[in-house]
Amino acid sequence: MKPGGECCWSEGGARVARRLAAGLMVLCCFYAVSVQAGGRKGRRPQHSKSKLDPWYPVKVEDPAIFAKLNSLEVPELDMRSVCLIDGFVFLRNLSKRLDPAGKGVNFVIPSGVAGRRVSIDLSHIPMLDAVRYICMLANVECVLQGGMVIIRPRSAKKGAE
């Protein structure tokens, strides 16, 4: 307190306090999102189709490939303005290294969406979530079918299924 009972916060000090509070809120939001995305090591979200987003870009027709993608943990994924095809080639090679059987996961990408660019930075998440986030950023969907992941343009029906 200043002499005379006035508050010592000047207008500039109040502005700084508001910016600090806003920054703290942003950090809390990022932390909450990273925890939900499995950003903390050892914590994996357990997905069931009923608890997913209204538009979940992954259509599961082969439960075995779903389980395989969910069991492979991506230690770090850092892509900056990468073509979709290059990103999925990287994930294919990474899945071969992470898969105990050494087979990995095949990705099929049509030429119409192969050139789309994405930027993403993730760590310690299941490969299924990495694929889902990349699909959401590129505005495509994927179908887990026949032991492979098929990437295709997003269907016009939003929230159908």
pLDDT in tens, 94-129: 999 999 998 999 999 998 888 899 999 999 999 999
Look at phi and psi of residue 72 and say left if phi exceeds 0, alpha if psi is from -120 to 50, else beta: beta
157 pLDDT more than 60 = no
pLDDT higher at 76 or 25: 76
Residue with tokens 């990408």: 109
Q: Is 3.55.50 the CATH number for 49-153?
A: yes
Structure tokens at 140: 């495509």
Closest of 61, 84, 72 to residue 139, by C-alpha: 84
This prediction has a pTM of 0.63
Q: Could you give the percent of the chain with pLDDT greater than 70?
A: 61
Q: Residues near 102 by Cβ (< 8 Å), separated by ≥ 6? A: 96
Task: List, as own/partner pairs, every contact residues 54-58 make where C-beta atoms lie below 8 angstroms and the sequence separation is at least 24, other chains included.
Answer: 54/158, 54/159, 55/158, 55/159, 56/132, 57/132, 57/135, 57/136, 57/140, 57/141, 57/142, 57/154, 58/128, 58/131, 58/132, 58/135, 58/141, 58/142, 58/143, 58/144
Task: Show me where the domains of the chain are located.
Answer: 1-36, 49-153
